[in-house]
Structure 1
Amino acid sequence: MESALNSDSTLTVFLGRGGLSHGIRQTLEDFTATGLVRDLAWVDADSFRSSSSEVTYLRLSEEGSPEITREPFNALVARSRITRLHLGVINVVGFGGGEIRSAELMALTDAIDSILTGRSIQRTNLIISAVGAPLETDLPVLKGFTNLFLAPEDSPGPESATVPFHFDHLDNRFTLHCVAGIASLFGLWEGSTHAPVARLDPASGVSFRLVRAYYRRIDGQDVQARLKARIFDTELNPLPRLNRPGQEVSAQYTENPRAFAETAAEDLLSEFNQRIEGKPTHALAQQTRRTTSGRALGEFLRIWGKRMVTTPARFFRDLRGEARTFVDDTVQVGLYGEDSRIRVGGGGDAEPDPADDSGTRQARRENLQVEATRELGPLWSSYANTALTMLDASPRFITENAGQSSYPRVMQEHPERPVWVARSAADVIPGPDANFGHDLPVEVKSTIGGGDIAPYDIAGIAAYERSLASQRHGRQRGVGRVIGDFKQWQEENSGSFACHVGRGLVERRGQLHQRKEQLTGQIADLEDRQARAAGTGALAGVLRWLGWVFMGSVMIFALIWGFGHLRPTLLDAPRAGWVDTLNAAPTDIKVWMFSIWVGLWLLFWILQVAVETRDEMRFLNRRRDIVNKLDAARANLEVTRKALVRIDVGYRQFLSTSRMIGALINEPFGYIRHPRVESTIPVNTMPESVVFAEADPASGEVERLANTFRREIYREGWLGDYVMGGLAEAARNFEERTNGKFAVNDVFSTSGEGTGGQLARLAGAVTATGFRTRDRSKDVWRRVTADLRQDTERDDTGILSPQQVYRDGRRETAPSRLPLDEAVALGSFNGEIATERGRVDGILEVDPRYCTHDRNINTFDAIGVSEVLVQIGQPAHEGDVAFRRPDHQPLDPGLVGAMPDSEDFQVREPRVMTMPQPKHHLPGTGEF
């Protein structure tokens, strides 16, 4: 309680005594308990002896809860740290024991002076009485005080006729009248900032002034709640006002939401298709080269001649290679074996270890994922911008050309045509509340799984369908109902922009897998064709075989013939007959025989080289085309593999982006709260000068006023501020919890769902219950309430009419009254209050110089009105007010004769004359 007291405040202290004052205090306690009045101290004049005497302190805490305590006066003043004190003396005249004279104020004033040295003290003496009340002594007018006489009358307003309170016909309404007057004059009503009587100067001499007050409180909290709910209602997308100078133009709802969302998704994915799938490589065939027969024959002879000359060198090179390979293979098998990690030959280059190759592939895949995460950032930034544009009709950067903002093609095909927007945020990206599975029974979740499945998570939906299908014939009860609910949920939530984007990503993943299989088969076919094309034809092989046959036969015959000549020497054996026959043959025959033999060998060799030359020319002129196709297929396979990695990374980014943006666009203002302090409207009959009413306008009036504010709030591009503001707020909250840093502008280039990246963490922060239940409409509502206060002060909205009041416990429509601010100096006091002299002196006329009208502000009620009108009369004196004086009877002559004439006499018992006092029905504690 101590913290609630202001460091610079005014304490209002009342001093009273008697039965009526006691009833006034009890009613003030009742009013405090119901939140109608606040911050006052009540001192009982009969029990106050010193500054340590206990007083009653009534106040409202910052939360609006009442607090009524009893504590020493000096402790209260010290704890309050007040700078000013307003002392109000309640002088009740005619009710027996209710008057307080100057001498009886000494104890309190001494205590105040000792505690509040040097502080400002305002003193007011409020005289309370009724018409025809008895007055046996002087009127208790206090010097140095502002003396006021609360007029014993009641009326709905200054312009109306007044009804006086007669002393002989008082009821509980008179106590309520006194309490209402005290609360109005001393600024006790909740929301009041000052006391109207504090502006008056103390009266000179023994004069006083009549005073009356009117208080009207119209509670608009229910209207405010209805108005706030309508202003911030975005379940149906508000049609944004377009920025067209000099024109009042709004966007229009699309006629076909599903086609609208599907076209926007296709355009977005087509725009970024190369970023998703990569750039393909196309095979390039060489242009046809024209030549003549002579040039072709010349090229053939040139290549043939070169091959003829280089045949020996090629022969020995191939022979060395074959020999080295043979030796390496022999050593490998003989020493190390085929399964050894050491390989003989190959120039010392070892084959990569399979384990090392697996680690390299994993590291390469991780690098590809990081690269893909960064490359796909512009796609998801454009995806979020497209979603916002589809709702608030503001051109944004949604294409690969980052320097140009535009509409999606489906929103406006021509500048002169209307701009189309989605009907609801759920048609763009459904929010978290649209997810399936969070309310499934525990036993069903334990069997078939479950958990928040977003409508746009096409892969998650397919997996859940498979899970449901596997349990279709199980014994788990309720699975059939879940399957039916799931199908219905799919049908109702399958047409959003996010669903079409998710479906497009899943379809592209399937197409990429098919492309990968096709390219793998194509590469195998091209490699086989290359192997066949690189070798020589069968004819060259036959000619090579025949050449080896003739050459080998010549060499063998020559060796055998030579051995026949050496046989007699080496073996001491006779020479073979065929050798002698051949030796005896003529030389020309032997020459022709060997020439034919060698000529056939040369012929087959020449033909072999010619055929090989032909095959080489064919290979050289077709190999380039074959290699280009193979290289293109291999490059496209690598691009496809990278695209599959990008699709996997991008799908996770898509889920987190949709989760985050969907939550913000479906609840751009968060959870709209309607803070309200229940205003206690007294159901018993109050004085006519006090009005406690509730505004109860027609729905059309609330709608009209709400639309006025909606036109100003929902302009082109309105959604961007609240989405980016929500992201920034969520990032700040996350930074405070983790002591980390968040770059909201770069968050779309980070990893998404299931990775722990910044995008995934920010999406989790945005969809957390603590963030979603925050009211982010405070700044906008603050501007709205400021405008509402101005409107209600001008009374030009009609939002406070009609009004409902209570009379005798019944709720009824309040009659129309003249606004108090238009009746500040109107009317006069009731004539029965004044004597004839008073009426002549003009004490019934109001003094415009001191009449005040104040409009108070309620923290929780921007629409409602709380106003006080205080009217002060002209200076008056005791003889100007009609009181019932005691009768003065003439002296009885017999009394003198009966008087004793000596000291020896007996005093007769005096006759006691009693005057019956009226019984006042005070409200007491618990009245309301």
Structure 2
Amino acid sequence: MPMSDLTILVTENPTLAGIPAALRDWSAAGLIRPFVWVPPATPNSRLIEARLVESGDVVVSSLGDLLARRSPRHVRIVALTSELVDGADSARNATSLAAAVGGAGGEIRTTLVQLVVTRLEAREGALTALEGWHNILISPDDAAGPTKPHTLLEGPASDEDIAQFALPAVAAVGALFDGVEAGPLDDTPVPPGATFQVLRVFARRLDASTVRDALQRQTLGLTDGYPLVLGAGGASATYVENIDLANLDMANGLWSRHLGILRSARQNPQLAQVESLGIWKAFRMLWSFLWASIKNAPAEWANKVIYTGKQWVATTATRAIFGQNSAFAVVVGGVRGQSASWQTQVEALGALENSLGPAQDGHHVHSRMDSLWQDLVSGGLTLLDGQPRRGDQMDAAKIGSDTGIIRFGRFLAPSRATDSFTDIPGAVRAATETDELAPYDTLQIRRFGTRLSALAADPIAGADASATMEKFQAWWRRVSATYTTKVSLRLSDEFERRLAEIAEYTAVLQAAQATTGIPDDIRHEQNRLASRLRFLLIALVLLITATITLGALAVIPWLVAGIALGVWMLGWLVSSVLTFLKGQRRLFQLKNMRAEALSKADAAEYNLAAAIRDARRCGDAYALLLQWAESLAIFASDPLGQASAQAGPNVGPGTDHPLAIQFGQAEVNDREVARAASALRRQFFPVGWLDSVWDAFLGSAGHLLGARGTMLLDEPALLYRQRAIQEDVLLPRWVEALTEQGVPGTAGDQTWERIVHTLQTTARDELERLLGQVRTETGAPTALNEFLGGLTAQVITPTGFPTTLFSASAITGDLMRPHVTWCREWSEGLSRTVVLAQISVPMPAEYLRPEARRHEDPIGNVGSSNGGATTRLVRPIVDDIF
């Protein structure tokens, strides 16, 4: 990975090879940044060997290849030399290395430093300055802080001890401390002439990971429930006690906004006017019936009477039903005498809908459900964070004047992974064909309950079923109070109603179909009536014939004969009309029933097609609801993604370091952590805080799905527009990925970064209290200020360098006091690193060569080293490390 700067350590003498070896241990512990070590050149080698040390790993390459890969803009070359032995300098390697870096091309800024390691009363080598370099002599003393008592480093020492006491200075000059990306000499011009400066470095590394974990767990974690948010005017929310009512109100508000998805418009049947058979109508119809009777076709005449109106013909919806008997059987819930699964019913509805034929524009227009799912989510978030008016009729719960929120996510949206009903014995499982019940799959839950009730009534299999029924009912009482389950209940009710509608309209069409033709009893009645009327007609003909004959024979006068003929005609007409009227009453009842059936069939045709489409839409919505319910459950249980966050291992730097550099572990004060967490939750969890968290959660879907989720990277809201029938639907894959990997910690990380920034700026006092107690590497507890040793405060009168290091002329000129104080503090989370360097004025090399050895320190420095008897820090064999 390219980096903007690079530090190269150069050693010539094996005596100093322990320094990069020890730094590698620090690198493995994650304390320092990558660096490069250039060991002594091998004979006849034309390339400069560079050993890149990163996270404890070593990669060997040529210097040219390394610079080409890293492309640094700033290179620090630190030549490690010593005056403890002759020939422990790196002048030859360092100058050739500087020339190689300068000739590598590009605009590389270089900082050249010769760092000389020394000890009092053991100085044997020459002190030779490099022209154009910062020539730095590490002060041979050790102290816990700039104003603390100092220990002089005297006498011979092992290579490991030399490395141990040189590490702070090497890490500071090389800007190797992790996070401190600048060294004290980076922007300092090289002093003129062959001069030296004395350097002393103090460093502190405070590991606050345990305090961080405790504070993060109490601030961002939801073990004790969702935070009681603060509303306008600082009013605090309260936890909802009647969870069932709060969830029911929100679910009702959701469906009141989206009724259109549940049921489309229906047609009312235009009932035909009831037609009665009166005397005059009977008189008029008598003649046509007489003619039909004479032709012996009364049934044909009756058929024409019934069908004189509109002739009903089965249209698309009816043909779909009667042409898809198997699909219809599945839809109304009967498959081999058992209830069909809702998934099978939705598939059958799809087949029926497709058989209805194309819509007016040639394509089926699917309803947009994105607003439904957005409101589903909004309602759930409102119940958890109290945000008012996320949507009409979906306001936050009110408990008096307070805003009510649900305390735990599982009370809002139970998850399939943790809240499913699985306590189903084998016999019951086989009989009900159910292995588990998701808490929001209410269609399956209802059908399981129906089967289980029937099974419990069976005296043979009732024992296991009854025990299962008790557990099932207790489980259902708990999950039925949740928000997503109540939303699912409403949708499943509508789905079942649509199926009942389909069965109802089908019965209407079947009734209309049954009215075709003439029933046999009506046919027989028409034949009998025709026989009676023919008899009356024959009787009339005989009477008329007899009367005319009598009149012609002068048996009776023609006047009497005329009167008799009128009486016979009137009698026949009245008797025929009355007989016809009485005989056709049932025919007209059948005609009215036929007209009514036709009218109902016309409306049922339209309504059946609408019910099929509505049921299909409800089924698709139900399938999508199960996915959104699970995603909301996963989110509600861990919105900030803290459950998937893994705390990194605490890798220590080892022990037995010099006093100048100390490593400490901040100790957890439970009371301070609880108090700080409570204050932070009030500040960072206001009303509506879940909006940005949900946006981050939804925005991570594209990354979570990998290559399949590319389309969601720029527009994650496309998830709301997913349809259940699409083959490439991404919603189930997203939910599956969430189930496996948990909620991404994006929002939690962002929130934690804002919390840390607040603690490091406006709430600095709070942070100091949290880190108030530190346990050092020796195991002794100490206060934070004591541990830092005054490194963060401005040192007014710093302690001078050891006077035995200087000549009398330097002491007379008061050159042994620090002239420049350089301090850097870097924070990573709650942990921090502090580095302070003290540098003297430049002086000639002879000022650092006292005329005689001194055994007293006139400025009050006390103590001495043990001559190399300290515990070794680094591995004794450098070749085994590199």
TM-score, normalised on structure 1?
0.71
What are the equivalent positions in structure 2 for 1:399-418 lying under 5 Å apart?
405-408=392-395, 411-412=397-398, 417-418=401-402
Give the drift of 1:215: 0.6
- Provide the residue aligned with 1:923 in structure 2: 872
Q: Does 1:840 align with 2:833?
A: no
Change (3 A) 1:640 1:258: same
Q: Which one-letter code corresponds to 2:238 in the other structure?
A: Q
In structure 2, how many angstroms separate the alpha carbons of the residues matched to 1:69 and 1:524? 84
Q: Which one-letter code corresponds to 1:390 in the other structure?
A: L
The Cα offsets for residues 68-123 of structure 1, whole Å up to 9 and x where unpaired, read as: 35555666566655555434343423x333643xxx73465245425633865433
From 26, 48, 58, the counterpart of 1:68: 58
Cα contact 2:253–2:393 (8 A) shared by 1: no
In structure 2, how many angstroms separate the alpha carbons of the residues matched to 1:605 and 1:75? 123
- Provide the residue aligned with 2:31 in structure 1: 36
Q: Which one-letter code corresponds to 1:30 in the other structure?
A: D
Give the drift of 1:176: 1.7
Query: Gapped runs of 5+ residues in structure 2?
Result: 329-348, 855-865
In structure 2, how many angstroms separate the alpha carbons of the residues matched to 1:268 and 1:111? 73
Q: Does 1:866 align with 2:860?
A: no
From 407, 423, 442, the counterpart of 1:423: 407
- Provide the residue aligned with 1:597 in structure 2: 568
Give the drift of 1:679: 5.0
The Cα offsets for residues 276-335 of structure 1, whole Å up to 9 and x where unpaired, read as: 355677899999xxxxxxxxxxxx99x866876x46765578669974975999xxxxxx
From 383, 386, 393, the counterpart of 2:379: 386
Q: Does 1:262 align with 2:248?
A: yes
- Provide the residue aligned with 1:15 in structure 2: 11
Moved more, 480-489 or 782-791: 480-489
- Provide the residue aligned with 1:109 in structure 2: 95
Cα contact 2:33–2:176 (8 A) shared by 1: yes
Q: Which one-letter code corresponds to 1:147 in the other structure?
A: N
- Provide the residue aligned with 2:46 in structure 1: 52
Cα contact 2:702–2:710 (8 A) shared by 1: no
Q: Does 1:176 align with 2:164?
A: yes
Q: Does 1:776 align with 2:746?
A: yes
Give the drift of 1:254: 0.8
In structure 2, how many angstroms separate the alpha carbons of the residues matched to 1:622 and 1:714? 69
Give the drift of 1:805: 1.2
In structure 1, how many angstroms separate the alpha carbons of the residues matched to 2:807 and 2:873? 34
From 736, 743, 747, the counterpart of 1:767: 736
- Provide the residue aligned with 1:365 in structure 2: 353
Change (3 A) 1:358 1:202: same
- Provide the residue aligned with 1:460 in structure 2: 444
Moved more, 175-184 or 641-650: 641-650
Change (3 A) 1:349 1:307: closer
Give the drift of 1:365: 2.9
The Cα offsets for residues 866-898 of structure 1, whole Å up to 9 and x where unpaired, read as: 1211011234455655758599xxxxxxxxxxx
Give the drift of 1:739: 7.7
Q: Aligned with 1:178: secondary structure?
A: helix
Identity, % of aligned pairs? Answer: 17
Give the drift of 1:212: 0.6
In structure 2, how many angstroms separate the alpha carbons of the residues matched to 1:919 and 1:467? 85
Cα contact 2:36–2:52 (8 A) shared by 1: yes
Cα contact 1:147–1:208 (8 A) shared by 2: yes
The Cα offsets for residues 210-263 of structure 1, whole Å up to 9 and x where unpaired, read as: 22111111123333334444443246553464663xx12343221221232234
- Give the number of aligned pairs: 814
Tell which structure's C-alpha radius of gyration is larger: 1
Cα contact 2:320–2:355 (8 A) shared by 1: no
What are the equivalent positions in structure 2 for 1:543-622 lying under 5 Å apart?
551-559=537-545, 583-587=554-558, 590-591=561-562, 593-604=564-575
Moved more, 178-187 or 541-550: 541-550
In structure 2, how many angstroms separate the alpha carbons of the residues matched to 1:253 and 1:159? 55
Give the drift of 1:192: 3.0
The Cα offsets for residues 6-34 of structure 1, whole Å up to 9 and x where unpaired, read as: 3x533423234263x24434433433343
Q: Does 1:804 align with 2:791?
A: no
Change (3 A) 1:687 1:114: closer
Q: Aligned with 1:552: secondary structure?
A: helix
In structure 1, how many angstroms separate the alpha carbons of the residues matched to 2:648 and 2:720? 43
In structure 1, how many angstroms separate the alpha carbons of the residues matched to 2:163 and 2:829? 31
Cα contact 2:551–2:558 (8 A) shared by 1: no
Q: Which one-letter code corresponds to 2:9 in the other structure?
A: V
In structure 1, how many angstroms separate the alpha carbons of the residues matched to 2:156 and 2:397? 80
Q: Aligned with 2:86: secondary structure?
A: coil
Q: CA RMSD in A?
A: 5.8
Change (3 A) 1:307 1:732: farther
Change (3 A) 1:844 1:483: farther
Q: Does 1:737 align with 2:708?
A: yes
- Provide the residue aligned with 2:859 in structure 1: none
Give the drift of 1:355: 7.4
In structure 2, how many angstroms separate the alpha carbons of the residues matched to 1:468 and 1:717? 43
Q: Aligned with 1:822: secondary structure?
A: coil
Change (3 A) 1:271 1:793: closer
Q: Which one-letter code corresponds to 2:27 in the other structure?
A: T
Q: Does 1:90 align with 2:39?
A: no
Give the drift of 1:191: 2.8
In structure 1, how many angstroms separate the alpha carbons of the residues matched to 2:570 and 2:63? 144
Q: Aligned with 2:841: secondary structure?
A: strand
- Provide the residue aligned with 2:201 in structure 1: 213
Give the drift of 1:666: 3.3
Give the drift of 1:507: 4.6
Change (3 A) 1:727 1:552: farther
What are the equivalent positions in structure 2 for 1:248-287 lying under 5 Å apart?
248-269=234-255, 276-277=262-263
- Provide the residue aligned with 1:27 in structure 2: 22
In structure 1, how many angstroms separate the alpha carbons of the residues matched to 2:157 and 2:710? 74
Q: Does 1:157 align with 2:153?
A: no
Query: Gapped runs of 5+ residues in structure 1?
Result: 288-299, 330-344, 399-404, 566-578, 888-916
Change (3 A) 1:601 1:507: same
In structure 1, how many angstroms separate the alpha carbons of the residues matched to 2:186 and 2:760? 26
- Provide the residue aligned with 1:294 in structure 2: none
Change (3 A) 1:275 1:320: farther
In structure 2, how many angstroms separate the alpha carbons of the residues matched to 1:599 and 1:444? 81
In structure 1, how many angstroms separate the alpha carbons of the residues matched to 2:765 and 2:664? 19
Change (3 A) 1:205 1:438: farther
Change (3 A) 1:604 1:711: same
Change (3 A) 1:677 1:748: closer
Moved more, 156-165 or 782-791: 782-791
Change (3 A) 1:171 1:546: closer
Q: Aligned with 2:112: secondary structure?
A: strand
Give the drift of 1:852: 0.9
- Provide the residue aligned with 1:893 in structure 2: none
Cα contact 1:265–1:500 (8 A) shared by 2: yes
Q: Does 1:130 align with 2:124?
A: no
- Provide the residue aligned with 1:569 in structure 2: none
- Provide the residue aligned with 1:656 in structure 2: 627
Give the drift of 1:519: 8.5
Q: Which one-letter code corresponds to 1:460 in the other structure?
A: Q
- Provide the residue aligned with 1:495 in structure 2: 481
- Provide the residue aligned with 1:895 in structure 2: none
Give the drift of 1:822: 1.4
